[in-house]
Amino acid sequence: MQILIEPENKVVFLTRAGNVDNLLRLLRLKPGQALVIRGSELLTPDRKVEPEDEIIIRKIVSRG
Amino acid sequence: MKCTRCRAVAAVALPRHNAGFCPDCFQVFFTRQVEKAIKDNLLFSKEDKILTALSGGKDSLALSRELKLLGYDIAGLHVDLAIPESSVQAREHVLNFCKIFEIPVHILDMDKECLPIPEIKKRISRPVCSMCGRIKRYYFNRFALENGFTVLATGHNLDDETARLFSNVLRWDQSYLGDQGPVLEARQGFVRKVKPLYRLSEYETANYCFITGINYCYTPCPYSKGASFTYYKSILDDLEHEQPGRKISFYEGFLRRAKKYFAEREDGRDTNLKPCPRCSYPTSAEICGVCRIRAMLSAG
């Protein structure tokens, strides 16, 4: 699974996450700290993610 | 997870409301939160001429879109801070947004005002955030008053407000606690200031921007790293994660039960205000804060 983390624009790869909640935990984020985007869709923490998915993690804390 | 209103697949989960919403129903939820904030606190009416402070970030753009769609008379002001790493993008986002939503926009260049933030940063050893904030407040307030606006609306959200309240409580800053809230009434030389997004979290405004297609600037300010508010927000995020709803109860509990005691103590403080001899801005010091920054820069 390819994951683009914004705003750093850092790409990481994970082989297995299961669902969004677990994916965020692996990235040390809480559900209220980032949008999880697949294509044009927002994913809630209970949604499953697949190894072939391309996911954007958009952190939301404003700094300045 | 299903949408609480229509049972479609949810796109946004909101544990503090024990709810989830599909994209369409989330927009209804968002609008209702803004309307409730305006109504409960009598923030403004359709007769007011509202200036929105536009940074180019998600909150100020979401706020402007909502107020425009709700039929309020709004215009935006963007203060270009002349920070090479982020100001160009922020300005572009503001201009594009205002063009799409047909919102009149004004730009003030801090380079032209001889107050570029990077030059100030070079001359001080502490974080530049408080000076940057002071400059922005000065120009937003001044522009509003000089151009006939009756209200200045900012995109401060629930996370901003709870982090500020937390910080003020940690220092028991009675003056700031007396002023904290979604409305700061107009007084001698200061326009009325309101925060219509105070019931909504950053997470909610970010979701709103994604769902409504608002293209916002998320390039962080290069000078904000290590800012205490960012740290307080992360502490409060941990608390909210463990106890959903804690932020809004902390904030609204303060407004209902504690604010009045601090506000009473601050009554009469404006008697010390007088016009700055250089720019006429109200100040309790010999010259105002922005004129002091300007003097520091010209001293080299």
Q: At what angle do helices B202-212 and B58-69 cross, to 10 degrees?
A: 60
d(CA A35, CA B85): 24
Residue B275 structure tokens: 């016009």
* Lowest-pLDDT choice from B14-28, B60-74, B224-238: B224-238
pLDDT over 90 (residue A15):
no
CB B1 to CB A63 under 8 A? no
Q: Which residues numbered 160-219 in B keep a CB inside 8 Å of some CB on A?
A: 201-203, 206-207, 210-211, 218-219
Which amino acid does the sequence have at B52? T
pLDDT over 90 (residue B300):
no
Residue A25 structure tokens: 């935990």
Mean pLDDT for the stretch of residues B158-175: 95
Residue pair B199/B156 in contact (Cβ under 8 Å)? The answer is no
Q: For residue A35, what is the nearest residue in chain B, using CA coordinates?
A: B207
d(CA B119, CA B84): 11
pLDDT over 90 (residue B188):
no
pLDDT over 80 (residue B271):
no
pLDDT at A45 (0 to 100): 97
Higher per-residue pLDDT: B287 or B229: B287
Mean pLDDT taken over chain B: 94
pLDDT over 60 (residue A63):
no
B282: phi then psi, degrees, rounded to nearest 5: -65, 135
Q: Greatest CA span in chain A, whole angstroms?
A: 35
A29: phi then psi, degrees, rounded to nearest 5: -125, 155
d(CA B164, CA B251): 10
Chain B residues in contact with A45 by the CB 8 A cut-off are 13
Per cent of chain B over pLDDT 70 is: 97
Domain positions in chain A: 2-59
pLDDT tens per residue across span B108-121:
999 999 999 999 99
Mean pLDDT taken over chain A: 92
CB A41 to CB B206 under 8 A? no
Mean pLDDT for the stretch of residues B190-206: 97
pLDDT band at B240 (very low <50, low <70, confident <90, very high): very high
Per cent of chain B over pLDDT 90 is: 85
Higher per-residue pLDDT: B269 or B90: B90
Residue B174 structure tokens: 């009675």
Residue A63 in contact with partner chain B when CB distance is under 8 A: yes
Question: Which CATH number is A2-59's, of 3.30.465.10, 3.30.565.10, 3.10.20.30, 1.10.3720.10?
Answer: 3.10.20.30
Mean pLDDT for the stretch of residues B276-289: 94
Mean pLDDT for the stretch of residues A29-40: 95
pLDDT at B184 (0 to 100): 95
Domains of chain B and CATH, by start: 23-242+254-267 (3.40.50.620), 272-300 (no CATH)
pLDDT band at B182 (very low <50, low <70, confident <90, very high): very high
Q: Which residues numbered 85-144 in B keep a CB inside 8 Å of some CB on A?
A: 86, 129, 132
pLDDT at B268 (0 to 100): 58
pLDDT over 70 (residue B269):
no
Q: For chain A, what is the HEC assignment? A: CEEEEECCCEEEECCCCCEHHHHHHHCCCCHHHEEEEECCEECCCCCECCCCCEEEEEECCCCC
